[in-house]
Homo-oligomer: A and B are copies of this chain.
Amino acid sequence: MSDLPQFVKVHEEGPREGFQIEPGPIATARKVEFIEALAETGLMQIDCVSFVNAQKVPGMADAEEVIRSVRRKPGVRYTGLWLNTRGLMRALETPVDIVGAIRVTGSETFCIRNTGMNHAQTLDEQRRWLDIYRERKVPVEWGYVMTAFGCNYEGFISTDKVRTMVQQLLDLAAEAGASLKGVYLADTVGWGTPQAMERTIGAVRERWPDLPLALHLHDTRGTGLANAYAALKLGVAQFDSTCAGLGGCPFAGHQGAAGNICTEDFVFMCHEMGIKTGIDLEKLIECAHMAEDIVGHPLPGKVLRAGSLAHFRQKLAAWR
């Protein structure tokens, strides 16, 4: 008996979140090899590339080549990220699986620095995306609230602000004659705590009790899995994560860089608490070792070093 979800959807963000911050260069073939290995674990969605300015993010200069090279496993979605219409148009020229997403940011300062657009401009941009989705017959899926828990420029984001953002996402979708599957709350820069999860998720649930919520959590200050656990207890059943904790780095040279919650650590925690994910944890741990080999330095995941408990249990079963 448990008040936790029975099944959690895990979206792998490692190839995108991880490889975009690595000093690299990382060979395109190795990125493809990693994505193909991830697809063999049972993961159903893998964020592969960003369609962003290659001058600013040199690690993503081969985005088109990566997504065109991946040998696809049926049933798995190979997605990508864009921050503006130019990026979306680039994505549409590739075989990437387009997720009909719209994005707003709780902190307008962060929004301007991350995308070059203020909030009003962002809303207009989202309307353009919704037009494009309709033209290209891309179903509208998820709305995202970036920096939903805090921001280095604006501090804590109030629950009122988050509710305003959620309302705007729902309104944008409705204007376009669509409806959202649900809303992602993103702790983009690691201000979240378990208590903040409860407060913000609670405030959104109070207004929209039946709206599915999902989380994108960065583990900047070590509270990532605690935050995820607080959200699981509230019934949140969809999470982004990165294999081996890609995106973070224990080297002082990458001071402050921190990836998402680590996929295999999160999957380990879920499985040990009786939550199914459809993922083969042992295969995922092999992917985490591959990730370390590709980036050429240790990554922050823990289970990749300690191993799961499966081999202990097998030994125990053999003894009895």
Q: Which residues of A contact B (CB under 8 A)?
A: 2, 4, 150, 152-155, 190-191, 193-196, 219-223, 225-226, 228-230, 250-252, 254-258, 262, 265, 268-269, 272-274, 292, 298-303, 305-309, 312-313, 316
Given contacts A193-B273, A194-B273, A272-B193, contact A258 B302 (CB under 8 A): yes
A and B contact pairs by CB, cutoff 8 A, 18 listed: A2-B195, A155-B313, A193-B269, A193-B273, A195-B274, A221-B265, A221-B302, A221-B306, A222-B265, A222-B268, A222-B269, A222-B301, A222-B303, A229-B230, A250-B305, A254-B305, A256-B306, A257-B305
Task: Check if A223 sits within 8 Å of B225, measured CB to CB.
Answer: yes
- Most chain B C-beta atoms within 10 Å of own C-beta, residue among A195, A221, A262, A274: A221
| Interface residues of chain A: helix, strand, loop or mixed (majority) | loop
Given contacts A226-B269, A256-B306, A256-B307, contact A250 B300 (CB under 8 A): yes
Q: How far is the CA of A73 from the CA of B3 in the complex (A)?
A: 47
Q: How far is the CA of A316 from the CA of B274 in the complex (A)?
A: 43
Task: Check if A273 sits within 8 Å of B305, measured CB to CB.
Answer: no
Task: Check if B229 sits within 8 Å of A194, measured CB to CB.
Answer: yes
- Residues on B with beta carbons closer than 8 Å to the beta carbon of A256: 305-307
Task: Check if A195 sits within 8 Å of B4, measured CB to CB.
Answer: yes
Task: Check if A225 sits within 8 Å of B228, measured CB to CB.
Answer: no
> Which one of B226, B272, B292 lies within 8 Å of A225 (CB-CB)?
B226
Q: How far is the CA of A225 from the CA of B225 in the complex (A)?
A: 7
> Which one of B195, B226, B258, B305 lies within 8 Å of A226 (CB-CB)?
B226
Task: Check if B228 sits within 8 Å of A312, measured CB to CB.
Answer: no
Q: How far is the CA of A307 from the CA of B305 in the complex (A)?
A: 25
- Residues on B with beta carbons closer than 8 Å to the beta carbon of A265: 221-223
Given contacts A2-B195, A195-B4, contact A305 B225 (CB under 8 A): no
- Residues on B with beta carbons closer than 8 Å to the beta carbon of A230: 229
Task: Check if A302 sits within 8 Å of B220, measured CB to CB.
Answer: yes
Given contacts A2-B195, A226-B229, A228-B226, contact A219 B155 (CB under 8 A): no
> Which one of B229, B268, B274 lies within 8 Å of A229 (CB-CB)?
B229
- Residues on B with beta carbons closer than 8 Å to the beta carbon of A305: 250, 252, 254-258
> Which one of B153, B221, B250, B313 lies within 8 Å of A250 (CB-CB)?
B250
Q: How far is the CA of A309 from the CA of B194 in the complex (A)?
A: 16
Q: How far is the CA of A75 from the CA of B2 in the complex (A)?
A: 44
Task: Check if A155 sits within 8 Å of B195, measured CB to CB.
Answer: no
- In the assembled complex, the CB of A11 is this many whole angstroms from the nearest CB of chain B, namely 18
> Which one of B193, B228, B298 lies within 8 Å of A251 (CB-CB)?
B298
Task: Check if B223 sits within 8 Å of A154, measured CB to CB.
Answer: no
- In the assembled complex, the CB of A109 is this many whole angstroms from the nearest CB of chain B, namely 10
- Residues on B with beta carbons closer than 8 Å to the beta carbon of A196: 272
- Residues on B with beta carbons closer than 8 Å to the beta carbon of A262: 222
Given contacts A222-B225, A223-B265, A223-B268, contact A190 B300 (CB under 8 A): no
